[in-house]
Structure 1
Amino acid sequence: MAALSGTKPCPEEYVEAAEREYRRFQEGYLWAILMAEFLVAVGGNGLALYRFITQEQRPWHPAVVFSVQLAVSNLCYALTLPPLAAYFYPPKNWSFGEVACRLERFVFTCNLLGGIIFITCISLSRYMVVVHPFFTRRHLRPKHAWAVSAASWAMAILLAAPMLGFSHQNQPQPGLGPCSKTNREACVKCLGMMEDSQLETFRTYSLVLACLGGILPLLLTLMAYSALGLVVMRSPSMTTAQKLRVVVLVTSGVTVYACSYAPYHITQVLHVNAMLRWMAHCPSFTSESQAVAALNPRAFFGYQTTRILVPLATCMHPLLYMAVAPSLNCHPCHGKSEDQSPCQDLPLADTTTSQSQQSP
């Protein structure tokens, strides 16, 4: 491995000692958890997507358009989990080649960001329908949702594009023999960031992702659902049970986001910072035990834990599609007329589309 710019090279034996500590978690638990989440995420989101395609009236309501994009993004994200699980399966070894290594990290990041963006779109759509019903019915149409979806995919691809350059395959030195549990030096690595000498660049990139792909969407989602919740709770036409269902929807959406996507970006930044500090001190270590003791396990395990929580969030999205939505076909607005009751839009995935597609 290369050393940080301006410092002495980090001895390979110290780097290998640090990686042994990291592999214990990845090879012991992470690969199995990722495969289990893959099966649940593909089954749930595939079923939700099938339901949208076969049961929703055309043209799709904007809420359905965004929900379909979210399901597609979740499916694409889930498809990156098997090669990642195969990589972590002991002995940790990437056997799919350089191109697949770069594409796996790019698709992983692109659809991670896509899921975040479309959750935010769904939240803002709910906000517009409930808080600004007249404007929504008169001016917003499915074509606008498709245009926003196209722009959202473009943004996700643009933000994830640097991963094609950051990711790379690290080949072992020739003549080491086959990769095995007893000969890990011969194993191929698929790294999700640049060489150690360029970690500063990756830290800047991870900070950008944390702001644009984590904190900002979380704030928008929180504000949108807070405004929606206030309108619903003040509605005299809703029963207590209906209001409770809306509170469950709002709380579930914000909780899933706040406990998975945002922490992933934050812990990634913390992990990269910890790596930079360790690499800076590495040349001064006098033994492998000192090198291992200087590691920051909380940063590493925090980052690995959020890598588990993000796929878990994609598993939970179908529950919001399929279970919560049918129970929220309510009219929390104050008026009695159809034009004043667009709140059938409240579900994450709307099932009542015909009325809100009519011209005012």
Structure 2
Amino acid sequence: MMPCRPFWFFFPGGAQAGATVLPEGASQEMEMLDTNASREQTVCKFSEDYKQIYLSLTYSIILMLGMPLNGMVLWLSWRQTKRWSCATIYLVNLMVADLLYVLTLPFLITTYSLGDRWPFGELLCRLVRFLFYTNLYGSILLLTCISVHRFLGVCHPLRSLPYRTRRHALLGTATTWALVVLQLLPTLFFSHTEYIDGQMICYDMTGPENFDQFFAYGVVLTLSGFVFPSLVILVCYSLMVRSLIKPGEALMKTGNVTRAKSIRTILLVCGLFTLCFVPFHITRSFYLMLRFLPSQDCQLLIVVSLAYKIWRPLVSMSSCLNPILYFLLVGNNRVRLFQELRQNKGKRPMGGQIWVLTR
């Protein structure tokens, strides 16, 4: 195995300059892309050897869990004889986003096992980075749609009936995909490969020459893709909780089944955000800010960089948790799953014959 390279942080002086992160061994010409030769520079160097084991291991676990879980959900949905409900439409789209991302994990596992060397070329580099953010912000927006749908069913069960239809659910998912793709098209420009010390690397964010533009884009993406949807979810769940704790007539309107589903939705979505999305965006925002500002605190930047890169693969755990949301929120999928598994187990050879249980 090839060890991961140490990283250099260059802090140029001057109020307009940002910190540049370069792998060790980058040429002097590359080092000066964000700086002026006359400015003083402070060098901050640290090792990222932990990525070779930690990232390879976490992505492997997510791949082993996410692939069968999301595949099983899509298989069950495909075999479903009833028309898909609104919740099923939203959740199946969530599984598709997860599966598209999980299929890119073998490339990341390979590159981190090789010590950050990217052997797959320019096109796959851009595609893998694009699909990571597509999964992330697609999941957030689809969870927002689910939260709004559940809020309308709990707080306005009768008035919202014309809007809680399959047609509106399909329109909502189509709008979500369109918004996500439009938001993330710039990542296809920012992410790219580059040769350093004769080895190809794939930038996680962008090269140092485009960092200022990426910082501005990252701020806009965080606000539109995370902060605003989070506020919508927070408002929906606050109003839902207020409605659910009311005794008497309000509770009778929602019904016990809807109330139970609503409570599960609140707990699961809040848990997803707390575990996966909130820590990632906090650490990423601090990381980008410290790289952009002319800070001289090398130790702080190292700590924030470590926190961001530890949380980055954990955001992908949503790919393993979203199928749980499906099984708990959509009808009797757990019962049907066990029935399907028992049916498959019924196919076994006995005395040279194959006996098949039929329904």
Q: TM-score range by the shorter chain?
A: 0.7 to 0.9
Structure-2 separation of matches of 1:298 and 1:57: 52
Q: Does 1:85 align with 2:114?
A: no
Please list every run of 5 or more consecutive structure 1 residues that lacks an aligned counterpart in the other structure.
173-184, 282-290, 329-360
Aligned to 2:342: none
Question: Are the counterparts in 2 of residues 41 and 311 from structure 1 also a CA contact under 8 Å?
Answer: no
Say if 1:130 and 1:228, in contact at 8 Å, map to a contact too.
yes
Give the structure 1 partner of residue 215 of structure 2: 203
Choose between structure 1 and 2: higher helix proportion.
1
Which residue type is aligned with residue 292 of structure 2?
A: L
1:247 Cα offset (Å)? 3.4
Correspondent of 2:325 among 316, 320, 329: 320
Match for 1:157 among 181, 201, 208? 181
Q: Deviations over 1:144-173 (max 9, x none)?
A: 11111111101100111001110110113x
- What SS is found at the alignment partner of 2:118? coil
**CA offset digits 1:201-255 (Å, max 9, x no partner):** 1111111121111111111112212222332232555999996775344122112
Cα distance, 1:2 vs structure 2 = 3.7
Q: TM-score, normalising length from structure 1?
A: 0.74
Checking the alignment, whether the CA contact within 8 Å between 2:87 and 2:330 is kept in structure 1 is no
Specify the code of the residue in structure 1 equivalent to 2:67: V
TM-score by length of 2: 0.75
Q: Which residue of 2 aligns with 1:343?
A: none
What residue is the counterpart of 2:271 in the other structure? 255
Query: Counterpart amino acid of 2:226?
Result: G
SS at structure 2 position matched to 1:8: coil
After TM superposition, the structure 1 stretch with the greater mean CA deviation from structure 2, 145-154 or 83-92, is 83-92
Residue 40, structure 1, aligned to residue 52, structure 2: no
Residue of 80, 99, 102 corresponding to 1:55: 80
Question: Quick one: which amino acid aligns to residue 146 of structure 1?
Answer: L
Q: CA RMSD, aligned part only?
A: 3.0
**CA deviations over 1:267-311 (Å, ceiling 9, x no partner):** 222212233357x76xxxxxxxxx9x5562221122122212211
Give CA-to-partner distance per residue, 1:28-65, whole Å, 9 cap, x none: 2111111111121111111112222212512x222111
The answer for the alignment partner of 1:270 in structure 2 is: 286
Tell me, in whole angstroms, the C-alpha distance in 1 between the residues paired with 2:76 and 2:155.
28
Checking the alignment, whether the CA contact within 8 Å between 1:167 and 1:190 is kept in structure 2 is yes
Residue equivalent to 1:310: 315
**Residue 70 of structure 1 contacts residue 114 of structure 1 at CA under 8 Å; is this kept in 2?**
yes
Indicate which of 226, 232, 235 corresponds to 2:238.
226
As a proportion of its length, which structure holds more strand?
2
User: Using the alignment, how far apart are the partners of 1:11 and 1:47 within structure 2?
Assistant: 57
